[in-house]
Amino acid sequence: MSEPKKTIGSRFREFLIEIRNKKYGLPGGILLTVGFGLFLLMSGGGDKLKFRSYDLLFWFRPPILPNEAVMVFMDDASHKQLHQKYLEPWDRSYYTRFIKRLTAEKAKAVVFDVVFSDLLNTNKDQAFAEAIRENGNVILAADWVLEDYGGERKMGWDDPAQLFNESAADVGSDAMFPDADVEVRKYIPHGRYDKDGKPLEHASEAWTAAKLIGAPVCADTNREFTSFWLNYYAPEAQLPSVSFYKTIAENDPDVPVGYFSNKVVFVGARLQTQTQAARKDEYPSPYSYRDENKFMPGVAIHATAFLNLIRGDWLKRPYYVTERYFVVIMGLILGGVLVLCRPLVATYIALATAVPIIFGSYFWFLYYHYWFPWMIVVAVQIPTALIWSISYNSLQLMLEKARVEQSLGLYLSPKLVKKFAADPTLLKPGAKKQMLTILFSDIAGFTTISEGMDSDELAHAMNRYFQTAVTNCVHSTDGTVVKYIGDAIFAFWNAPEPQVDHAFRACAGALNFRNQEAQFVNGQELITRIGLHTGLANVGNFGSDTRVDYTAISENINLASRMEGLNKYLGTIVLITGETKAEVKDQVVTRYLGLFILKGFEKSVQVYELIGLPEDAPKTQALRDSFAGALQKFTARDFDGAEAAFKKILETTPKDGPCKFYLDQLPDFRAEPPDEDWKGEVKLKDK
């Protein structure tokens, strides 16, 4: 019986059944995947993943080198060349020379990320202030500091000294608002109020510079009070920059005349020397994974923010509700789909989902300057859904295996149960033709024996009987128990595992059955009659996906059952057919009992009594020879001779059932002689 071809409708029904079967796995996967995603998106617990979603986007993008601005670093080389101490303010005459050069080269603007809050030298301070005034486009920094207001500490401003403040074009805040990992990702052009509700007097250095040069973005008053995500262009070392000392040196080849023309110049510290003040104004960046670019100075971050503003390429992030919808939708899809798939397929789907999300995020970042916490989906939701799918389905598989083992345990020996538990196809509807040796057993006179017994007592006795019979007789020879029919057992060999010696195994099982220790029910011994036959049958599960009925169907099954019933007439215990005898040959000892036409069958069947194993042959040799001679006379129509021979056997073996059977048949044959073509067949009218 081949499995029917599946239609689209049947496949859809199977899909619905699969969903129904995952009544816990499906909602569980969705709740876990959606829940983890939302928790990480809406809480600080997901900050690392959010930060990584932002940083990773810069790793693969080629460096961008804007030329609208240049950074001048007050670095270690400048400290050394100009003999300036690390923990003291610089000689302001150097700033004066620097400003005058920028004025001469017509730099667009100069932004000092340095707070000149104190006056140091009257003449030098005055000259510096005059140079600032002459330039007209100098922005000085103000520091946001913690101050003491009548015993209460609040944030306030450390502004430039009045002399410099009056000379400068504007003052910008040097304040940074880093994330928990100290990296600055979000830039605030002008926060209206601090955390204590105090108005912030100064816009940021970047916004102040953009406004000073008339950048179009500054026409939008709302933008000044709207934070944005920094679009880092490259590691700081790759951005246009120069050491301060070179800007005031004569004829330095790295800073030729006109180098600052039409540029906005940002000036600030960049220190690598390990001092008490080292890295006071330095922060990690998305490029901090590179050893040579662990930190980026604050002035470089202000310059980056300025370039973002004038170029209009700052990063944006979707609305919060949009991100939540995306996380929920991905959780529904991943949590709902992967659990319906096998582990390998689920893994492929997970990878196939992660790849477009990664590339899509990068594409969106590269061309549209958007970023969102895609790592929450890739690093948490997808693995969560995949782990849940594998774990849940593994548990289902374990339960299914246990169910298979339990089901197969009804039919197979423990050895075969373990072997076939891994083959769930045994539980699928369908069958195939297989040569089997079939056994039917039945307890002689069971109805009379069990009459009047208490049902519980009877059930206990039968359980004990079946346990012994199946364990010691069928399963010990690796037979398959098909079903119990009242007090009868239906079993076969050579399926589901092929067995070259299946007929012998069946005979050995039957002999074990016959020779086992006597059992008594209601004070009477249980005598089990057994019939064996070898023939083709359709073997498989004739039930459904949800109900196992592993069995065999064919005319040969009925013949084995008739052989068991024939014992009642012949007074025997175990009978086998000629087909079984042909398979076992001399491996067992048998007694040929003749040809029989059983009820429901047209052809005659050779019937043998199963005596035992070869070592048992001498004990029954005389009986078998005498019976063979008597049967030969019967077949030769010498009914008188056969009668005398059978009677003679009974003199030495008075309980021999086959002899008694033939003696009972002789009157009928004498009264109605058989046809000319008769070969010794005995036709039975009853089962």
How many other C-beta atoms lie within 10 A of the C-beta of residue 628? 12
Q: Tell me what pLDDT residue 225 has.
A: 86
Q: Which of 457, 466, 495 is nearest to 479 (CA)?
A: 495
List the Cα angle 603/605/608 in 5-degree steps: 175
Domain membership flag for residue 114: yes
Q: Which of 506, 417, 522 is nearest to 462 (CA)?
A: 522
Q: How many domains, the chain?
A: 3
pLDDT at 276 over 70: no
Q: Tell me what pLDDT residue 201 has.
A: 77
CA-to-CA distance for 365 and 224, rounded, in angstroms?
A: 23
- Residue linked to tokens 């068991």: 564
What is the widest separation between alpha-carbon atoms in the chain?
Answer: 157
Last residue of a domain, one of 613, 648, 671: 613
pLDDT at 373 over 60: yes
**Contact present, 602 and 566 (Cβ < 8 Å):** no
Q: Which of 517, 518, 512 is nearest to 530 (CA)?
A: 512
Beta bridge partners of 648: none
Per-residue pLDDT, averaged over 548-575, amounts to 92
Dump pLDDT digits (tens) for 323-357.
999 999 999 999 888 888 888 999 999 999 999 99
Q: Are 378 and 300 found together in one domain? A: no
pLDDT at 468 over 90: no
CA Rg, the chain, in Å?
Answer: 49
Last residue of a domain, one of 352, 380, 405: 405
Q: Are 169 and 197 found together in one domain? A: yes
Domain membership flag for residue 642: no
Per-residue pLDDT, averaged over 441-468, amounts to 86
Q: Tell me what pLDDT residue 608 has.
A: 97
pLDDT at 127 over 70: yes
Last residue of a domain, one of 567, 585, 613: 613
Per-residue pLDDT, averaged over 177-200, amounts to 77
Dump pLDDT digits (tens) for 505-527.
999 999 999 998 888 888 888 99
At position 580, the amino acid (one-letter code) is: T
CA-to-CA distance for 524 and 543, rounded, in angstroms?
A: 38
Average pLDDT, the chain: 88
Q: Are 255 and 321 found together in one domain? A: no
CA-to-CA distance for 115 and 135, rounded, in angstroms?
A: 18
Domain membership flag for residue 419: yes
Strand ranges (E), 555-640: 574-577, 589-597, 605-612
pLDDT band at 293, cuts 50/70/90? low
Q: Are 94 and 54 found together in one domain? A: no
Q: Tell me what pLDDT residue 412 has.
A: 60
Q: Are 97 and 210 found together in one domain? A: yes
Q: Are 391 and 430 found together in one domain? A: no
The region of weakest confidence among 287-291, 495-499, 601-605 is 287-291
Q: Are 40 and 77 found together in one domain? A: no
In terms of phi and psi (left: phi > 0; alpha: psi -120 to 50; beta: otherwise), the region of 171 is beta
Burial letters 565-597, b for 16+ CB under 10 A, else e: bbbebbebbbbbbbbbbebbeeebbbbbbbbbe
CATH number at residue 506: 3.30.70.1230
Per-residue pLDDT, averaged over 429-452, amounts to 88
Q: Tell me what pLDDT residue 278 has.
A: 45
Domain that holds residue 352: 24-59+317-405
Residues in the chain: 687
The number of CA neighbours under 13 Å toward the Cβ of 523 is 4
Dump pLDDT digits (tens) for 221-260.
888 889 999 999 999 889 999 999 999 998 899 999 999 9
CA-to-CA distance for 4 and 144, rounded, in angstroms?
A: 79
Q: Are 327 and 419 found together in one domain? A: no
Per-residue pLDDT, averaged over 267-288, amounts to 73
Q: Tell me what pLDDT residue 277 has.
A: 42
Domain membership flag for residue 664: no
Q: Are 124 and 157 found together in one domain? A: yes
CA-to-CA distance for 664 and 203, rounded, in angstroms?
A: 123
pLDDT band at 2, cuts 50/70/90? very low
pLDDT at 631 over 80: yes
Domain membership flag for residue 13: no
Q: Tell me what pLDDT residue 549 has.
A: 73
Per-residue pLDDT, averaged over 309-322, amounts to 95
Q: Tell me what pLDDT residue 396 has.
A: 76
pTM for the model stands at 0.65
pLDDT band at 431, cuts 50/70/90? confident
The DSSP symbol for 177 reads -
Q: Are 431 and 341 found together in one domain? A: no
CA-to-CA distance for 229 and 316, rounded, in angstroms?
A: 6
Dump pLDDT digits (tens) for 68-101.
999 999 999 999 999 999 888 999 999 999 999 9
Domain membership flag for residue 651: no
Q: Are 465 and 547 found together in one domain? A: yes
**How would you class 350 by CB atoms within 10 Å of its CB: exposed for 0-12, middle for 13-18, buried for 19 or more?**
buried
Q: Tell me what pLDDT residue 17 has.
A: 47
Alpha-carbon dihedral angle through residues 455, 461, 462, 464, given to the nearest 10 degrees? 150
Q: Tell me what pLDDT residue 685 has.
A: 77
Domain membership flag for residue 657: no
Q: Are 567 and 531 found together in one domain? A: yes
How many other C-beta atoms lie within 10 A of the C-beta of residue 11? 10
pLDDT at 420 over 90: no
Q: Residue 72 belongs to what H/E stretch?
A: strand 69-75
CA-to-CA distance for 487 and 509, rounded, in angstroms?
A: 18
CA-to-CA distance for 306 and 230, rounded, in angstroms?
A: 10
Q: Tell me what pLDDT residue 463 has.
A: 86
pLDDT at 13 over 60: no
Share of the chain above pLDDT 90, in %: 64
Domain membership flag for residue 661: no
